[in-house]
Amino acid sequence: MKNKMGEKKSHKGSKENQNSPESSAGKPSLRQVTELVTSLISLSHSIKVFSVKWQSIRNKLDELLSGLTAVENCDSGGIPSLSATVRSINNTLTESYDLARRCVDLSYSGKLLMQSDLDIISAKFNTHIKNLSEIYTAALVTHDYAIVVSRPGLAASRDDMKFYVKDLLSRMKIGGREMKKQALVAFNQVISEDEKYIKIAMEIGNFIGLLMNFLDSQETEIQEEASKAVSMIAGIDSYKNILAGAGVIAPLIRVLECGTELGKECAARCLQKFTENSDNSWSVSAHGGVTALLKLCTNGDCGGELVGLACGVLKNLLGVEEIKRFMIEEGTISVFVKLVRSKEEVLQINSMEFLQSMAFGDESTRQLIVREGGIRALVRILDPKSMSSSKTREMALRAIVNLCFSSTSSLNILMNYGFLDHILYFLRNGEVSVQELALKAAFRLCGTSEEAKKAMGDAGFMPELVKLLDAKSFEVREMAAEALSSMVLVPRNRKRFVQNDQNVGLLLQLLDPEDGNSGNKKFLLSTLMSLTSSNTGRKKIINSGYMKNIEKLAEAEVSDAKKIVRKLSTSRLRSMLSGLWHS
């Protein structure tokens, strides 16, 4: 085996060696250097040792190739430094080729020495890439090339579109700060209007790696545009896993930690898309994503839009039980209960949605939310004196039903905070959307316990439910009728109900078989059946003037109507017999 120096000398001096790049007698041209780069990339794929270092060199060769192509395509002949740069690149490539051959043949003298040589070559390539970028920028400035390639029209061929994308990518790779930004802006514009450009870009080698590098850029505008690009690409399901597999999640989390508000918003949107898949949830957690997201939620300087997006990602992460437990240990519940008390609508709504998701099917988490003051925070939103929007109040009502109605202790806390007074207020005065949710809450509350029904009767719910029996919405009429039928099962509510002559009369009017706008007759009849258990109730029904409606239903074989008629007839017969007996 020849020694290292001998091999190196032989490699440089031999023209006949078929494994060596051909050298030119004169100055190397851009075309020759470009071909040499391509040859070296091809050879590097045969190398089985120092794979990490050669992969890094191969990435730099790709960048170098883009730089050489871009410089060749623009009029850079007048730039004095170009000739020297090309010569220097040619020398580095020749050295690299020698190192590559020795790695393929395993003819190097020592691992440490070869590693050192590869590091030196890698640093030289960095310098060449930087020099080419400066030459390209200088050529554009000198010749006032604002846009080298015009954007293709709507009917453009795939080849034209590909040429345009490659030009943009070349500018991203070797341009200066402003050129990189302009290329990214142009790229984002075309992919937002036509997804075919995304497909073309994804087919170009090292495109994802380029975007990932931009995500770590110190230039905020470049980082923001890169975040936008990744967000749009991640919106296509077929590319989402490709991006995640390439390792884009880690730099996105770094943007969350250190980026601008706009960059963070784009990064959060991306992560929200990625975490729809639980496999990616693990990756987000492993790279410190949970902590970064929670910091965004507790940072008073972050806007509602960003916090809302962070909530969305965290909500997706709840699908993995281990991550959910970690969140709880990190004090997530306390953070979101505080956000419920915020004065910003978007923060309140997102935090309430998150807490409901967190507590879904998990009694211990629900209890933690109660202990952290969650019920009090939700009831405060319902206070008519508060400045909360209708949308926020709707969400608060939903959250209260989901978090409190399954537990007697939570219901007691709810009552003590004046919840009944608040929903009664909205039954009377609320906007339609809030009124309907208040009714749903009252309806659900009726089904929780006897004590709840008593408290509702004492608070004055029954007159409001009676008013809603004639509402336009069938759903509202049905809920009101069912809630009322449940409430009058309680003796003191029944007694209170029949004291008002109009209540009984209205129920009977709504049972008119010819009135197609009645509520659910089943629950109206159920309410009347309960009223027949008292003498006062029976008398009110008989004397209402609308007995014929029940009789018609009984004739139509409606079971509950027949029972009521039977009960009233028996009662009337008893009264007659009692009168005869005492006469």
Q: What is the CATH number of the domain that holds 389?
A: 1.25.10.10
Q: Specify whether 462 is located in the same domain as 582.
A: yes
Q: Specify whether 465 is located in the same domain as 438.
A: no
- Where residue 361 falls (left for φ over 0; alpha for ψ -120 to 50; beta otherwise) is left
SS3 state of residue 138: helix
pLDDT of 562 > 60? The answer is yes
Q: Specify whether 133 is located in the same domain as 69.
A: yes
The per-residue pLDDT for 563 is 84
Q: What are the backbone angles phi and psi of residue 327, rounded to the nearest 5°?
A: -60, -45
SS3 state of residue 248: coil
- Where residue 288 falls (left for φ over 0; alpha for ψ -120 to 50; beta otherwise) is left
pLDDT of 5 > 60? The answer is no
Q: Specify whether 434 is located in the same domain as 453.
A: no
pLDDT of 511 > 90? The answer is no
Q: Mean pLDDT across the stretch 426-440? A: 91
Match 């007048």 to its residue by tokens. 78
**Within a domain: 38:** yes
> Domain ends where: 448, 478, 501?
448
Q: What share of the chain is helix, strand, coil (3-state, %, to 5)?
A: 75, 0, 25
**Within a domain: 531:** yes
Q: Give the model confidence (pLDDT) of 225-279 as tens digits.
A: 999 999 999 999 889 989 999 999 999 999 999 999 999 999 999 999 999 988 8
Q: Give the model confidence (pLDDT) of 156-181 as tens digits.
A: 889 889 989 988 888 888 777 888 89
Report the mean per-residue pLDDT for the chain: 85
Q: Specify whether 441 is located in the same domain as 560.
A: no
Q: Specify whether 301 is located in the same domain as 361.
A: no
Q: Specify whether 363 is located in the same domain as 459.
A: no
**Within a domain: 107:** yes
Tokens matching residue 360? 């879904």
Q: Specify whether 491 is located in the same domain as 541.
A: yes
| Distance (Å, whole) CA 389 – CA 382 | 10
Positive or negative torsion for Cα 45, 49, 50, 51: positive
Cα 311 to its chain centre, rounded Å, is 8
Flag the least confident range among 263-277, 285-299, 335-349, 565-579. 565-579
pLDDT of 193 > 50? The answer is yes
pLDDT of 558 > 80? The answer is no
Q: Mean pLDDT across the stretch 41-66? A: 91
DSSP state letter for 276? T
Q: Give the model confidence (pLDDT) of 368-425 as tens digits.
A: 999 999 999 999 999 999 989 999 999 999 999 999 988 888 999 999 999 999 999 9
pLDDT of 543 > 50? The answer is yes
Task: State the pLDDT confidence band at 11, using cuts at 50, 70 and 90.
Answer: very low
Contact 291, 335 (CB under 8 A): no
**Within a domain: 300:** yes
Residue 36 belongs to domain spanning: 4-12+23-142
> Domain ends where: 97, 113, 142?
142
Q: Specify whether 475 is located in the same domain as 558.
A: yes
Q: Specify whether 427 is located in the same domain as 441.
A: yes
Q: Give the model confidence (pLDDT) of 54-102 as tens digits.
A: 999 998 998 888 888 877 776 555 566 788 889 999 999 999 999 999 9
Q: Show Cβ contacts of residue 377 under 8 Å, excluding neighbours closer than 6 positions.
A: 337, 340, 341
Q: Mean pLDDT across the stretch 510-531? A: 77
Q: Specify whether 458 is located in the same domain as 556.
A: yes
Task: State the pLDDT confidence band at 27, using cuts at 50, 70 and 90.
Answer: low
pLDDT of 183 > 70? The answer is yes
The per-residue pLDDT for 271 is 95
pTM: 0.70
**Within a domain: 230:** no
pLDDT of 128 > 50? The answer is yes
Q: Specify whether 441 is located in the same domain as 456.
A: no
Q: Show Cβ contacts of residue 136 under 8 Å, excluding neighbours closer than 6 positions.
A: 67, 70, 71, 74, 76, 174, 175
**Number of domains forming the structure of the chain:** 4
**Within a domain: 205:** no
**Within a domain: 567:** yes
Match 């992560």 to its residue by tokens. 271
The per-residue pLDDT for 396 is 95
pLDDT of 22 > 60? The answer is no
**Within a domain: 454:** yes
